[in-house]
Amino acid sequence: MSSIGTGYDLSVTTFSPDGRVFQIEYAAKAVDNSGTVIGIKCKDGIVLGVEKLIASKMMLPGSNRRIHSVHRHSGMAVAGLAADGRQIVARTKSEATNYDSVYGEPIPVKELAERVASYVHLCTLYWWLRPFGCGVILGGYDRDGPQLYMVEPSGVSYRYFGAAIGKGRQAAKTEIEKLKLTDMTCRQGVIEVAKIIYGVHDEAKDKDFELEMSWVCDESNRQHQKVPDGLLEEAKAAAKAALEEMDAD
Amino acid sequence: MDFNAPHSMGTTIIGVTYNGGVVLGADSRTSTGVYVANRASDKITQLTDNVYVCRSGSAADSQVVSDYVRYFLHQHTIQLGQPATVKVAANLVRLLSYNNKNFLETGLIVGGWDKYEGGQIYGVPLGGTIVQQPFAIGGSGSSYLYGFFDQAWKGRMTKDE
Mean pLDDT of A178-198: 93
Amino acid B25: pLDDT: 94
Backbone angles phi, psi at A220, to 5 degrees: -95, 20
pLDDT, one tens digit per residue, over B105-156 is 999 999 999 999 999 999 999 999 999 999 999 998 888 899 999 999 988 8
Q: Do A102 and B79 touch (CB under 8 A)?
A: no
Write phi, then psi, for B124 (nearest 5 degrees): -125, 85
DSSP state of B141: G
A185: buried, middle or exposed (CB in 10 Å: 19+, 13-18, 0-12)? middle
In the three-class reduction of DSSP (H, G, I as helix; E, B as strand; rest coil), residue B108 is classed as strand
Q: Which residues of A touch B116 (CB under 8 A)?
A: 143
Residue B152 belongs to some domain of the structure: no
pLDDT band at A1 (very low <50, low <70, confident <90, very high): very low
Q: Is B29 on the interface with A (CB under 8 A)?
A: no
Q: pLDDT value at position A71?
A: 95
Beta strands in chain A (DSSP E): 37-42, 45-53, 67-71, 74-80, 134-142, 145-151, 157-159, 162-165, 209-217, 225-226
**In this structure, is residue B18 part of a structural domain?**
yes
Query: Residue A26's pLDDT band (boundaries 50, 70, 90)?
Result: very high
Residue A73 has pLDDT above 50, yes or no: yes
The boundaries of the domain holding residue B27 are 13-147
User: What's the pLDDT score for residue B36?
Assistant: 85
Per-residue model confidence (pLDDT) at position B114: 94
* A103 contacts B92? CB cut-off 8 A: yes
Of the candidates A148, A174, A113, the residue with the CA atom closest to the CA atom of residue A41:
A148
- Interval A28-55: pLDDT, tens: 999 999 989 999 999 999 999 999 988 8
Q: State the pLDDT confidence band at A203, using cuts at 50, 70 and 90.
A: confident
C-alpha to C-alpha distance for A214 and A226, rounded to whole angstroms: 4
Of the two residues A57 and A31, the one the predictor is more confident about is: A31
ipTM: 0.83
DSSP assignments along A155-209, one per residue: S-EEE-SEEEESTTHHHHHHHHHHS-GGG--HHHHHHHHHHHHHHH--TTTS--E
Can you list the pairs that A60-66 forms with residues at least 24 positions away whose Cβ atoms lie under 8 Å? A61/A210, A62/A210, A65/A212, A66/A35, A66/A37, A66/A212
In chain B, the largest separation of any two C-alpha atoms, in whole Å, equals 51
Q: How much of chain A, in percent, has pLDDT values that exceed 70?
A: 98
Catalytic site includes residue B11 = yes
Contact B90/A at CB under 8 A: yes
pLDDT at B3: 65
* Cβ atoms within 10 Å of A57's Cβ, excluding its own: 7
Evaluate whether residue B157 is within a structural domain: no
B114 domain-assigned: yes
User: Could you give the number of structural domains in chain B?
Assistant: 1
**B128: CATH:** 3.60.20.10
Q: How far apart are the first and last CA of chain B?
A: 42
Asked if residue B8 belongs to a domain, the reply is no
- Secondary structure letter of residue A106 according to DSSP: P
Kindly report the nearest CA distance between residue A108 and chain B, in angstroms.
8
Which residues, listed in sequence order, are joined to residue A163 by a DSSP beta bridge?
A39
Backbone angles phi, psi at A152, to 5 degrees: -100, 165
- Enumerate the residues of chain A whose CB falls inside 8 A of the CB of residue B90: 104
How, if at all, do strands A225-226 and A74-80 pair?
A: unpaired
Mean pLDDT of A12-35: 92
In angstroms, what CA-CA distances link A75 with A129, A166, B22? Answer: 26, 18, 36
- Domain-wise residue ranges, chain A: 23-248
Let me know if residue B40 belongs to a domain.
Answer: yes
Q: Is residue B100 part of a domain?
A: yes
Mean pLDDT over A108-136 rounds to 95
Q: Which of A103, A110, A143 is most worth mutating to test chain B (most B CB atoms within 10 A of its CB)?
A: A103
Give the whole-number percent of chain A exceeding pLDDT 90: 81
Query: Which CATH architecture best describes the domain A23-248?
Result: 4-Layer Sandwich (3.60)
Report the residue count for chain A: 249
Q: Which of B76, B91, B98 to mutate to test the interface with A (most CBs of A within 10 A)?
A: B91
Give mean pLDDT, residues B1-29.
82
Region B16-32: what's the mean pLDDT?
90
Question: A240, A77, A89: which is closest to A169 by C-alpha?
Answer: A77
pLDDT for res B41: 84
CB-CB: which of B79, B80, B88 is closest to A104?
B88
Confidence of residue A172 (pLDDT cuts 50, 70, 90): very high
Output B6 or B150, whichever has higher pLDDT: B150
Contact B91 A111 (CB under 8 A): no
Looking at CA atoms only, how far is residue A111 from chain B in angstroms? 7
Torsions phi, psi for A100 (to 5 deg): -60, -40
The answer to which of A145-149, A245-249, B51-55 has the lowest mean pLDDT is: A245-249
Q: What average pLDDT does range A210-231 have in this prediction?
A: 93
In chain B, which residues have their Cβ closer than 8 Å to the Cβ of A110? 80-81
pLDDT at B35: 84
- Assign B100 a pLDDT band (cuts: 50, 70, 90): very high
User: Is A61 an 8 Å CB contact of chain B?
Assistant: no
CA atoms of B43 and A42, how far apart (whole Å): 48
Residue B91 confidence (pLDDT) above 90: yes
B1: in domain: no
